[in-house]
Amino acid sequence: MSIQNINQLNECFSINSENTTLLFLDAEGDIPRIEIQNRSAKALISLQGAHLLSWVPADQSDVLWLSEQASYKQGKSVRGGIPICWPWFGAHETNDTLPAHGFARTVMWQVVKTEALSDDETMLVFRLDCREQDQAVSNMWPHAVSVEYTLIIADSLTLALNTYNHSDHAVRIGQAFHTYFNIENIRDTQVCGLENKVYLDKPDNFKQKSQSGPLIVTNEVDRVFINTEDVVAIKNKSRVMTVSKQGSRSTVVWNPWKDVAKKMGDMGEHGYRQMLCVESANAAEDIRTIEAGASHQISVNYQLS
């Protein structure tokens, strides 16, 4: 049963203990939000897309960038935070009339569980079951598949997406944590850990190229790095954000830069200077086949230093 009413959600899932609060709130566009605060961090999640909008470890500024121009409408993805791209990443493999990055980011997810694991760690579990979606979604993707999203909000952030194939046939899954990092100033930022890795360069017709040295953004960057399982570090003047992942062999780095950002309409005038997407993915040749009855997990941990 899907509960989307604020009172019921609070009755079933809110937490109010000495060091943890977790509360469901009405928000813009009638899309409920969850506010979480524990001893080591606070966070904000929208039920549409199970979209993490903000994660602020104690004594830090937000690790996630959220556009001032973001719109909070039903069926539209929020620009910033962590959109979940699922069950495909970017354009659909065979049908380019389908929406980019799948539908998980624009539909409501169900809350399955909330728990204060300790005074410093709060867990939330969401589910999206394709068998319970409306006709529009079933027409796009008629597969008996569900996905469970677990978040652990702490001084580091741990995210895991588990896809279960309940059907009698194999399905192909592309996905990503499309994370918008708040990097303060793109000019002082570099991404380390992708040196010498091969990438597909989207603005140059997906030509295969090799990354030389740390990645420094000075114009539009939209790259799908392949064979990347190692830790990636996003460094700026004030901090280092470390990305560790499992179940993913592709990493996407994206910044639209000025001209593309202007055309997008929801990036804000200087947004491109303050954000950088570093996305742990199953994309390009890392799209996974999940056999009937099988499952696949992609997970990531973000740590500040």
Number of residues counted as binding ligand TA6 (CB under 6 A)? 11
Residue 12 C-alpha from the chain's centroid: 25
The residue among 202 and 288 lying less far from ligand TA6, judged by its C-beta, is 202
Min. distance of Cβ 260 from ligand TA6 in angstroms?
8
Min. distance of Cβ 185 from ligand TA6 in angstroms?
21
The residue among 4 and 257 lying less far from ligand TA6, judged by its C-beta, is 257
CB atoms within 10 A of CB 152: 16
Tell me if 102 contacts ligand TA6 by CB under 6 A: no
Site for ligand TA6 in 179-208 (CB under 6 A): 202
Which residue in the list 121, 143, 148, 279 is annotated as catalytic? 279
Contact between residue 84 and residue 101 where contact means Cβ atoms under 8 Å apart? no
Report, in angstroms and rounded to the nearest whole number, the Rg of the chain calculated over CA atoms: 19
Fill in the DSSP letter of residue 247. S
39 conformational bin, left if phi > 0, alpha if psi -120 to 50, beta if neither: alpha
Task: Tell me the C-alpha to C-alpha distance, in Å, between residue 266 and each of 68, 69, 82, 108.
Answer: 8, 5, 15, 21
Strands, DSSP E only, in 71-177? 84-85, 110-118, 121-129, 145-153, 157-165, 171-173, 175-177
Edge-to-edge strands of the sheet including 21-25?
15-16, 21-25, 33-37, 41-46, 51-57
- Is residue 279 among the annotated active site residues? yes
The residue among 33 and 101 lying less far from ligand TA6, judged by its C-beta, is 101
Tell me if 235 contacts ligand TA6 by CB under 6 A: no
Tell me if 101 contacts ligand TA6 by CB under 6 A: yes
CA dihedral 243, 252, 73, 76 (to 10 degrees): -150
The residue among 151 and 252 lying less far from ligand TA6, judged by its C-beta, is 252
Tell me if 258 contacts ligand TA6 by CB under 6 A: no
Using CB under 6 A, pick the residue from 49, 87, 90, 102 that binds ligand TA6: 90
Tell me if 286 contacts ligand TA6 by CB under 6 A: no
Two tokens, residue 66: 């959220």
**Closest CB to ligand TA6: residue number:** 254
Tell me if 100 contacts ligand TA6 by CB under 6 A: yes
Min. distance of Cβ 89 from ligand TA6 in angstroms?
7
The residue among 127 and 178 lying less far from ligand TA6, judged by its C-beta, is 178
- Binding residues for ligand TA6, rule: CB under 6 A, are 77, 90, 100-101, 178, 202, 222, 252, 254, 277, 279
Give catalytic residue positions: 178, 279
